[in-house]
Structure 1
Amino acid sequence: MTTLVVPYFGGREVELDDDGDPADPRSAAALAVFLALTEADRISDSAHVFAFCSDYCEEAGRPEWLDEIMEVPENPTNIWDHVMSGPVMVRKGRGDDNNWYVVMEAECAWDTEHGLMLVWHQGKTLTKVGGYNGHLTDAGAYRDADLRNVVYKARNPQFTTRLATEAMQESTGHAPSLEPKAFPGGLRELL
């Protein structure tokens, strides 16, 4: 296996589990674009991961065991203190989706059973966050085109996050059907 240095995660080293299709230059391009993402990009993506954590904690009723291993983050950017980067794969979309995605199987303190799946469309835009389920997009997972701009599909809709208008257009070529949704106060409100 190949080891990659990932600037998005502050230069952490991760394993490359699958580099996609070596014969397709778009596969390698998606990985190269991902490896050019920075810590600033990660900070910009914080709200999606924080929403996942907030939704999980609300659903689970803020279990005591979680308090022992994880403090309530002061703000969404602190959520990354509870994420452990994992192996990366490059995957081609399914069916008529000819895009390439960079997928990371990360671990997170709040959902030790399912972990954290992070998916970047063409290696550039974080387009899916949630427990690991193997699906590259929420629209594909639920067979619902209205979800094409959803990054985190929450159990409680107040925690659902969406791509910003500009990111959606740049990433997919389509304007989102809904405006980006601000997400509420999160974990602090759950205590």
Structure 2
Amino acid sequence: MNGWELEKPNEDILFGKKKRIKEYAQQNPLAGTDKKGDVLLIIRKYHPSLNCSPDDPLYRSDTYRMCLAYYDAMSYSYFELPSGLHYTGVEARIDKNTGKAIITIHADGISRTTNVTELYQKLSNTTPMDEDAKMAAFISLDNTVNTVKRAAIEVTEVQSEILGTLLQDEQFDDWWISAPTAIPYLDGQALIFTYTDFNPAEDKAFITEADETIRNFLSLTAIDRLAASAHVYKNCMEFLDAIGYNEEEDALWKIKDPQQIWRQVRYNQCYVSREPYEDQQVYLRLSCECNWEQEHGLQLVFNKQGKLVRVSAEDGDILGYEGDGMIS
């Protein structure tokens, strides 16, 4: 197994179809899940510059990066590992104090325990590192980041002035789900709004800020969506340029009017959450499927004022690293 056999494991986690993930982890010694199957880890080889297998028939490469892939219901990330080690396994468990995954990587008699926050800080795939630096970073992993104990969640519903009652998700206790709500930005199509990573006992200001964010988003119309066409069209064209011409995407290559790009987009739902790393403001993410990036989809990110601030693949981030997808 090369670690690339599964398609869209995030969706399996999100919709509770975890049997396939657990079976895969049992079959692949370099894959692991937590007991519930909320997190999937895979150690695998990546193309030297693209987010794909070096065995991809369209983008073959004789060189590769060894990486750890991390999937949960809302995000997909991968972190560079030293290529000189022989990896023998990876494990995941959920820390009951923080609600986050604790990750243990085994290689050549070495075991290192860490978490996603520490991996972002030390082994991010966006930071160029030579093998010596990767090895030093790997050896230093010790799970000392992000160990604050989480307050208990003792309610099963929260109230929004805009959306009414949001019920606690059955899988994730810090997710809260609304009834479908009509969205003028999408010509009246109704979508569910989900608060994610929200603990009412820890973030007293969240609901007020979320209401402001949702109110301003719902004030937008289809005219505002069409005004954003150039940004979505740009995302499509940049993706096509990166992968090169493929006959299957010929219809996409022929699009010349940016407003026609919306015909290639399908809307899933809206996620509202607080950005955890940079400005820690509340944002709304409109989650979409699109005909060009079928694996990672498309997201439109709106700030509290209702301004579109980012158009990108659904990469697990609200604000793009080093400006990726951000709109100035």
The ranges of structure 1 where at least 4 consecutive aligned residues each deviate by more than 3 angstroms after the TM superposition are 19-23
Distance (Å, rounded) in 1 between the aligned partners of 2:210 and 2:261: 30
Contact 1:31 1:123 in 2 (8 A): no
- Structure 2 equivalent of residue 182 of structure 1: none
Whether 2:269 is the aligned partner of 1:52: answer no
Is the strand fraction higher in 1 or 2?
Answer: 2
TM-score with structure 1 length normalisation?
A: 0.68
- Structure 2 equivalent of residue 179 of structure 1: none
- Structure 2 equivalent of residue 77 of structure 1: 259
Q: Give the counterpart of 2:249 among 66, 75, 79.
A: 66
- Structure 1 equivalent of residue 308 of structure 2: 126
Q: Deviations over 1:143-186 (max 9, x none)?
A: xxxx3xx6x26xxxxxxxx33xxxxxxxxxxxxxxxxxxxxxxx
Q: Give the counterpart of 1:92 among 270, 274, 283.
A: 274
Task: Give the 3 Å change call, closer, same or farther, for CA 21–77 of structure 1 in structure 2.
Answer: farther
Contact 1:21 1:27 in 2 (8 A): no
Task: Give the 3 Å change call, closer, same or farther, for CA 80–96 of structure 1 in structure 2.
Answer: closer
Unaligned runs of 5+ in 1: 154-161, 164-191
Deviation at 1:100, TM superposition (A): 1.2
Deviation at 1:118, TM superposition (A): 1.1
Whether 2:216 is the aligned partner of 1:12: answer no
- Structure 1 equivalent of residue 218 of structure 2: 35
Deviation at 1:96, TM superposition (A): 5.3
Q: Deviations over 1:14-41 (max 9, x none)?
A: 1212276775311111011111111111
Q: Deviations over 1:62-92 (max 9, x none)?
A: 3222236x57323111111111011101111
Structure label with greater radius of gyration:
2
Distance (Å, rounded) in 2 between the aligned partners of 1:62 and 1:16: 36
After TM superposition, the structure 1 = structure 2 runs for residues 155-174 of structure 1, keeping only pairs within 5 Å, are: 162-163=327-328
**Letter of the aligned partner of 2:311 in structure 1?**
V
RMSD: 2.2
- Structure 1 equivalent of residue 319 of structure 2: 137
Deviation at 1:12, TM superposition (A): 1.1
Identity %: 26
Task: Give the 3 Å change call, closer, same or farther, for CA 117–27 of structure 1 in structure 2.
Answer: same
- Structure 2 equivalent of residue 180 of structure 1: none
**Letter of the aligned partner of 2:238 in structure 1?**
D
Is the helix fraction higher in 1 or 2?
Answer: 1
**Letter of the aligned partner of 2:221 in structure 1?**
T
**Letter of the aligned partner of 1:101 in structure 2?**
Y
Contact 1:105 1:116 in 2 (8 A): yes
TM-score with structure 2 length normalisation?
A: 0.41
Residue 318 of structure 2: SS of its match in structure 1? coil
